[in-house]
Every structure is written in C-alpha cells, then in structure tokens.
Amino acid sequence: MRRPTIKDVAERAKVSLKTVSRVINNEPSVMQGTRARVLHAIAELDYEPDQSARNLRSGTPFVIGLVYDNPNAYHIIGVQNGVLAACRETGFGLQIHPCDSTSPLLAEELAEFVQRSRLAGLVMTAPMSERMDLVNALAARGVKLVRIIAATEDPQDGHACVYVDDHDAAYEITEHLIQLGHQRIGFLWGGLAHRSSVERYNGYEKALKDYGITVDKHLVVPGDYTFDDGFRGARRLLALREPPTAIFGSNDEIAAGVLAAAKSAGMNVPYDLSIAGFEDSPFSKQSWPPLTTAKQATQDIAKQAARLLIAGLRSDAYDDTSTPVHNQGFVPQLVVRGSTAPVRLRSDRNDPHHE
Amino acid sequence: MRRPTIKDVAERAKVSLKTVSRVINNEPSVMQGTRARVLHAIAELDYEPDQSARNLRSGTPFVIGLVYDNPNAYHIIGVQNGVLAACRETGFGLQIHPCDSTSPLLAEELAEFVQRSRLAGLVMTAPMSERMDLVNALAARGVKLVRIIAATEDPQDGHACVYVDDHDAAYEITEHLIQLGHQRIGFLWGGLAHRSSVERYNGYEKALKDYGITVDKHLVVPGDYTFDDGFRGARRLLALREPPTAIFGSNDEIAAGVLAAAKSAGMNVPYDLSIAGFEDSPFSKQSWPPLTTAKQATQDIAKQAARLLIAGLRSDAYDDTSTPVHNQGFVPQLVVRGSTAPVRLRSDRNDPHHE
C-alpha cells in the first residue's frame, strides 16, 4: 500500500495543504469543524507526517545547528556571531554543538544531533567540514549542510560551501617577511586535520621558492592551532644553532605563543625576532607588540555560510526541487603591525641566546 | 465550557496519557488502531495541546536558551561549555542568544525568543540576571529561568540562582598586593551594570580599610570589562603625579590592557608595576608575565546553573508542583603568578615615565 501523503489528507478533508499543516502543528488559527475533519482524515488514512519535512513546514521552530571543534574562543565566538546574524535575518534559532573531530562515531553523533533536535540543517566548520567521508555520510542520511572550508577555489563537489583561500594570504605574509630581509623564516603548523593548515604551509613554501630561498626542514615544526604549541615550537626553533630571524605561526594563537616564548627568553620583539600570525583575532591587536597577521573575515564568512544554508532550506521547504545556491570565496588580507621588522644581522645582536 | 485536557482525551480513547502524548507528537511506536482512536477523540473533544507543556511532554526536543551580553570570548565559551555539559547529561539542546543588555525592549525580546524557539527555560548571565525588573517580567510571562549572579550569599528571592562571591576574592587579591608592600593600588572598574563589578570594588575597598589605607579616589577609574578600558585606565593612572605601584583590574581582560599599557610605556612588569586580574581566563596564563588573578570556575558555575534549571523543569514536566531546587554558591580563589611582586621604592626606579 502506498504511504499516504499530506495531499491525500487534504483531499479527503477537503481543505488546503496549508490547513492540514496547521492542524498537524497545532497552530491556533484553524476552525474547530475544519480541524476535526482533518484529524479524522489523518486517523482514517493513518497518515504520518514526515519528520524531516515537518521541521520546515510546521510551527516547530526553524533551527539550524553549528558544529565545531576548535580550541580558539575568539574564533568560535566570531563564527557563532556570524551564523547568528544570518539566523536573526530569517527568524531561525541556533543550536551549538562542539564535538570531537577525531571521534570514530562522529557521523552517527551528528545525525543524532540533527534528528533529536529536529534541526533544519547544519553549518559545519573545519576540520569536520573538510572530511568528505563525514560530509557524504551526513548527506546520505538526508542532513542538509553547508561547509566552511579552506580552498583556493570552489570545489564544486555538490555540497554547498564557503571557501577561504588561505594559500595566497600565507604567501603574502611570507613575502612580507622576505622583503624585510628575512631568509631564515620558521613555520609553525596548525593541526594537520585542517586543510587551512596545509594551505598556509603551501603559501609559505611557494613564497620561499619564488624568492629562491631553500626550505629548511628544521625551521618547520608540527603542532596544533594553540598557544601552547606556539610556545613549544618557538622554544624549539630558538634553540637551534642557527635560529630563525622570523617565525610565521599559522594562526594568531600560535603567534601569541611564539611572542611569549620570545619574551620569556628575554628577546626584544620585533628587533630580535619578527613574528607573524594568521586570522586577525581580537587579541592580535592586544598583544605587545601587536601582531602582523592576515585579516580573515571570520564573522562574514560564517554569516555567508549560514545564509547559504538557509536559502537552500527555504528553496525546498515545500518541495524537493532545490534551487542552485552559490558558493562564495573569501581571501584574507595581510595586516602589518608592530611584530615584524627588518632583519638585523646576527653580528648586530647582543642577545646571548643567539651567540 | 471547561477546556478539554489530555486526561479527557485519554479517557475517551481508553489509552494512557503517555499514548496520547505519543500520538500528539507523531512518535512512531503507536499501533494504527490506537492512534486512530486517539485522533478521533482529539477531534471530537477539540482538544488542543498546551504549547508550553508540550515542550516537555512531547517529542519536541527539549531545548534551553543561554542569554548573555559579555564582551569576553573566553568567558562566554566557558559559560557555553558548562551549560552544554549539563545539557549533554540530560539530552537537552542549547540555543544561544547574545543580546544587548541596555535594550529597553529586552523583556519582550527574551520572551519572544523563548516562545518562538519553544524553549523549556533560560540560563541568564549578568548583567541581565541581576536586573530584577527583567527577571520578574520574564517570570510573570511564565518563563522558567535560572540566574548566574554575583552575591555574597543566596538572595532567596524566589528565583533559582547560582551565586558567585566576588567580594572575598577581590579582598584577597587586594590583601596580597598590600602584603607585597603596595600602598598605592589602582582599581579599574568593570561595567557598573554588573553586580560583580560592585562586589569586586567593595572587596578592594574593604581590604584597604582593614589595613588602614585610605582609598584615594584618583586611583579608582570607571570603565567596562574590556581590554581597551584596561589600557585607557592604566594610561590615566600611570600619568598621575603619584602613580600607583600596583593596579587591580577587575577582570583579566582589563588586566591584559593594563599590561599592554605598561609595556607600551616601557615599564618592566612586575618590577615597575604589579598587575592583578580576576577570573583566571586562559590568556591570564598566556601573557608575559602571566597574571595574578582569582580563579573563577566559570564552566562549573554555568554547569551547575543549567543543572538547576533542568532539575526544576523536570520536576514540573507533568504537573505544576515544583520541587525545591537548591541554589549554590561559588567562591573564586586567589592565584598568584608572575605579574605581582614586592613594591619597589620610588627612589629605586629609573623609569623616566614616573619622574
């Protein structure tokens, strides 16, 4: 037997689809006689509203979810505020869901989150957004989502996304350091699970190559997007026989860790060491000296992602023909502040840590 | 005519309350014949489920809201994570709602947020949680809420709360500075709308009095809980003819601003100036030197608040007799780090900014 649809109910009760929808969702504006007819029709047909569709058709509040696994408070707040701005425009609510990106059961967890909270869709941030196995698993379960990813161009893989070109901004930062005369430029990686980290490294490497500087693997240190890894990585680099004269931390947290390490070693930044970060977190202006970085419009990026999701959800709120939504790219911009300066020759230095 | 209740439906359909609830919420586990009986009974009685009760009885997800107006990313993330921990224990979802605490229409806005998103209740942070007009207006509209407030004791005002005794911790910080020999201790206020700010000032003033030190009003500067106000306030204090030898910023953001101001003036912290903050934000360990502060268990405080709310919600999920829930107090603890040191006599100094 064919499963009855909302249309069957409407026909049997001799009312519009909208009226059936109102009755299902217990909206007040239905006359008693009409409501009774619809309820009887539902009972007779044994019609069961489709759960996922109900979210959008019904009085059930429109809610989207935001999924993240990021240690940086400022970054998360920026993303949240961007998504909230788009929610406010459209009357959507926002549920937040920090998660562990390394969990083997993440697809199940997120699908359960969507179902339990009856979410209309998800905004996914890196690194979850960049794991195609996860994205495909969620899409296969009918989860509508939009991804915020690092990429130099639109991946056109059938999933809505907002992409941020970290490569070119990382290239610019490295070029800025080279133009200040730095040849030994340390690089501190963020988490390898983040595509942004790879893109930032690639930009760094490309700039060095373009300027004829050989990449010295001793100057490249693995780590995560954290202050602590910046601190540790910098200590390691500064302890080298030939330490770098500049360090590019692949986000501002890392760069702040480098700054603390330099200060704890009695170094005068930027004269003894130039430091650059990435993202333009609020605290990159608050450190002393303030950090040279790449301005990433985190809030705008997240807002655009949520708008994309909501536009997609609205286009198929009443049917399944989804209208095309446009992916959008963002390019962070170099911001030069006090933490970078022209290189000093080693012979100029009187810092005992470098002798 | 008496409005029909869920009991009337259950009696007429000869099923349990739970079964009626399942049918109302389109849960799958109801046999077709039973479901039809319930739907016919609903239609005949013109029963309409109560919206607010439905949240808790129904398959509609249990969701609470978190309301905040705080400029500090670390603080907000701590509060969010605490509330989320309690939500995870109980299967609740969390919607976040940053707001403008000075909005004249805040009561309407929050009531609308609760209604639109069908929230079971709200966790309210300061300063909203400390405005009794707002709390009472929301309670009068049937909004269940728990408040996180600054208070030396349980206010026992009939509203659930978690209270943080900032007074004693501020006293301890001031005492710590006095015991290091400081007599001229600057104080930078947080926002006056925050009760915590008043309590922290009171603790500062009490300690000075107990140690026979006159409060010099030139050393007390108004401001908000922000880095920028810390920076500005410190510049003002350091420009005095008789500048302070220590500054107590009433949160860590303010203290970080003081640190930046001191460094930008070429001062050596803690030798030229001792600095203390409040809250023990992650970055208070990351600055150089790390900040003396009062450790506030933000995450635990928020978790306890959410637990209190959820316990209260559960107790009246099926009736209106609310079981007593226990308010709980927290006391921040002094943490001494590198930003405070024994006072140096002015004659010992060679800092041109102070001559």
- Do A55 and A275 form a contact (C-beta atoms < 8 A)? no
Q: Please give the Cα distance from A280 to A200 (Å, whole number).
A: 14
Q: Please give the pLDDT value at position A245.
A: 98
Contact flag A76-B77 (C-beta cutoff 8 Å): yes
Amino acid present at A169 = A
- Do B104 and B74 form a contact (C-beta atoms < 8 A)? no
> pLDDT category, B58, cuts 50, 70, 90?
very low
Residues of B in contact with A42 (CB under 8 A): 39
The answer as to whether B355 is a domain residue is: no
- Do B55 and B120 form a contact (C-beta atoms < 8 A)? yes
The answer as to whether A351 is a domain residue is: no
* Lowest-confidence pick of A276-290, B83-97, B303-317: B303-317
B80-135: pLDDT as tens digits:
999 999 999 888 999 999 999 999 899 999 999 998 888 999 999 999 999 999 99
Contact flag A257-B227 (C-beta cutoff 8 Å): no
Q: Please give the pLDDT value at position B149.
A: 97
Contact flag B95-A94 (C-beta cutoff 8 Å): yes
- Inform me whether the pLDDT recorded for A169 exceeds 50: yes
CATH code where residue A179 lies: 3.40.50.2300
The verdict on B134 and B199 lying in the same domain is: no
Residues of A in contact with B260 (CB under 8 A): 286-288
The answer as to whether A308 is a domain residue is: yes
Average of pLDDT values for A61-70?
91
Q: Say which residues have a Cβ less than 8 Å from residue B344's Cβ, sequence separation at least 6.
A: B245, B271, B272
Contact flag A95-B98 (C-beta cutoff 8 Å): no
> pLDDT category, A28, cuts 50, 70, 90?
low
Contact flag A46-B35 (C-beta cutoff 8 Å): yes
The answer as to whether B341 is a domain residue is: no
- Inform me whether the pLDDT recorded for A325 exceeds 80: no
Report the residue of chain B nearest A66, measured CA to CA: B95
The answer as to whether B282 is a domain residue is: yes
SS (H, E, C) chain B: CCCCCHHHHHHHHCCCHHHHHHHHCCCCCCCHHHHHHHHHHHHHHCCCCCHHHHHHHCCCCCEEEEEECCCCHHHHHHHHHHHHHHHHHHCCEEEEEECCCCCCCHHHHHHHHHHHCCCCEEEECCCHHHCHHHHHHHHHCCCCEEEEEECCCCCCCCCEEEEECHHHHHHHHHHHHHHCCCCCEEEECCCCCCHHHHHHHHHHHHHHHHCCCCCCHHHEECCCCCHHHHHHHHHHHHCCCCCCCEEEECCHHHHHHHHHHHHHCCCCCCCCCEEECCECCHHHCCCCCCCEEEECCHHHHHHHHHHHHHHHHHHCCCCCCCCCCCCEEECCEEECCCCCCCCCCHHHCCCHHHC
Report the residue of chain B nearest A260, measured CA to CA: B288
The verdict on B156 and B176 lying in the same domain is: no
**How many residues are given for chain A?**
355
Q: Say which residues have a Cβ less than 8 Å from residue B159's Cβ, sequence separation at least 6.
A: B135, B139, B145, B146, B147
Q: Say which residues have a Cβ less than 8 Å from residue B269's Cβ, sequence separation at least 6.
A: B259, B262, B263, B275, B289, B339
Report the residue of chain A nearest B94, measured CA to CA: A95
Contact flag A264-B288 (C-beta cutoff 8 Å): yes
The verdict on A217 and A305 lying in the same domain is: no
Shortest CA gap B140–chain A (Å): 23
Give the domain extent around B31: 6-49
The verdict on A261 and A173 lying in the same domain is: yes
Mutate to test the interface with B, among A113, A264, A287, A291 (most CBs of B within 10 A): A287
The verdict on B280 and B226 lying in the same domain is: yes
Shortest CA gap B115–chain A (Å): 9
Average of pLDDT values for B30-52?
77
Contact flag A73-B44 (C-beta cutoff 8 Å): no
The answer as to whether A337 is a domain residue is: no
Structure-model confidence comparison of residues A113 and B349, the more confident one: A113
The answer as to whether A354 is a domain residue is: no
Residues of A in contact with B35 (CB under 8 A): 43, 46
Report the residue of chain A nearest B40, measured CA to CA: A40
> pLDDT category, A294, cuts 50, 70, 90?
very high
Q: Please give the pLDDT value at position B283.
A: 82
Q: How many CB pairs under 8 A join A and B?
A: 108
Percent of chain A with pLDDT over 90: 68
- Do B353 and B267 form a contact (C-beta atoms < 8 A)? yes
The verdict on A157 and A302 lying in the same domain is: yes
Q: Please give the pLDDT value at position A319.
A: 38
Average of pLDDT values for A111-115?
92
- Do B320 and B174 form a contact (C-beta atoms < 8 A)? no
Q: Please give the pLDDT value at position A76.
A: 96
Residues of A in contact with B26 (CB under 8 A): 24, 48-49, 51, 54
A244-258: pLDDT as tens digits:
999 999 999 999 999
Residues of A in contact with B49 (CB under 8 A): 26
Mutate to test the interface with B, among A68, A77, A284, A299 (most CBs of B within 10 A): A77
User: B66: exposed, middle or buried (C-beta count within 10 Å: 0-12, 13-18, 19+)?
Assistant: buried
Give the domain-ending residue among B295, B317, B346: B295
Cα-based torsion angle of the residue sequence B76, B80, B82, B86 in order, rounded to the nearest 10 degrees = 160
- Inform me whether the pLDDT recorded for A321 exceeds 90: no
Give the domain-ending residue among A277, A295, A313: A295
Contact flag B39-A42 (C-beta cutoff 8 Å): yes
- Inform me whether the pLDDT recorded for B158 exceeds 90: no
- Look at residues B77, B282, B70 and name the one whose alpha carbon lies nearest to residue A70: B77
Report the predicted TM-score, pTM, of the whole model to 2 decimal places. Answer: 0.80
Percent of chain B with pLDDT over 90: 68
Mutate to test the interface with A, among B283, B285, B298 (most CBs of A within 10 A): B283
Shortest CA gap A263–chain B (Å): 7
- Do B180 and B340 form a contact (C-beta atoms < 8 A)? yes
Average of pLDDT values for B134-140?
95
- Look at residues B101, B188, B199 and name the one whose alpha carbon lies nearest to residue B150: B199
State which of A23-27, B144-148, B153-157 shows the largest mean pLDDT. B144-148
A178-215: pLDDT as tens digits:
999 999 999 999 999 999 999 999 999 999 999 999 99
Closest CB from B44, B49, B259 relative to A26? B49
Q: Say which residues have a Cβ less than 8 Å from residue A207's Cβ, sequence separation at least 6.
A: A170, A171, A172, A174, A175, A178
Contact flag A286-B256 (C-beta cutoff 8 Å): yes
Number of CB atoms found within 10 A of residue B152's CB: 16
Contact flag A259-B288 (C-beta cutoff 8 Å): yes
Shortest CA gap A325–chain B (Å): 26
Number of structural domains found in chain B? 3
Residues of B in contact with A95 (CB under 8 A): 63, 93-95
Q: Please give the Cα distance from A333 to A176 (Å, whole number).
A: 12
The verdict on A320 and A289 lying in the same domain is: no
Q: Please give the pLDDT value at position B51.
A: 43
- Inform me whether the pLDDT recorded for A313 exceeds 80: yes
Closest CB from A37, A96, A282 relative to B94? A96
B172-227: pLDDT as tens digits:
999 999 999 999 999 999 999 999 999 999 999 999 999 999 999 999 999 999 99
Averaged confidence pLDDT in chain A: 88
B231-272: pLDDT as tens digits:
999 999 999 999 999 999 999 999 999 999 999 999 999 999
The verdict on A182 and A288 lying in the same domain is: yes
Mutate to test the interface with B, among A39, A99, A284 (most CBs of B within 10 A): A39
CATH code where residue B20 lies: 1.10.260.40
Report the residue of chain B nearest A287, measured CA to CA: B260
The verdict on B31 and B114 lying in the same domain is: no
The verdict on A180 and A259 lying in the same domain is: yes
- Do A118 and A182 form a contact (C-beta atoms < 8 A)? no
Structure-model confidence comparison of residues B324 and A326, the more confident one: A326
Shortest CA gap B177–chain A (Å): 24
The answer as to whether B41 is a domain residue is: yes
Residues of A in contact with B63 (CB under 8 A): 63, 95, 117
Q: Establish whether the linkage from the previous residue to A243 is cis, with ω within 30° of 0.
A: no
Contact flag B39-A36 (C-beta cutoff 8 Å): no
Closest CB from A48, A61, A80 relative to B118? A61
The verdict on B241 and B264 lying in the same domain is: yes
- Do A49 and A6 form a contact (C-beta atoms < 8 A)? yes
The verdict on B20 and B82 lying in the same domain is: no
Q: Please give the pLDDT value at position A55.
A: 41
Shortest CA gap B295–chain A (Å): 18
Shortest CA gap B14–chain A (Å): 16
Shortest CA gap B46–chain A (Å): 7
Which phi and psi angles does A279 have, rounded to 5°?
115, -25
Q: Please give the Cα distance from B312 to B325 (Å, whole number).
A: 6
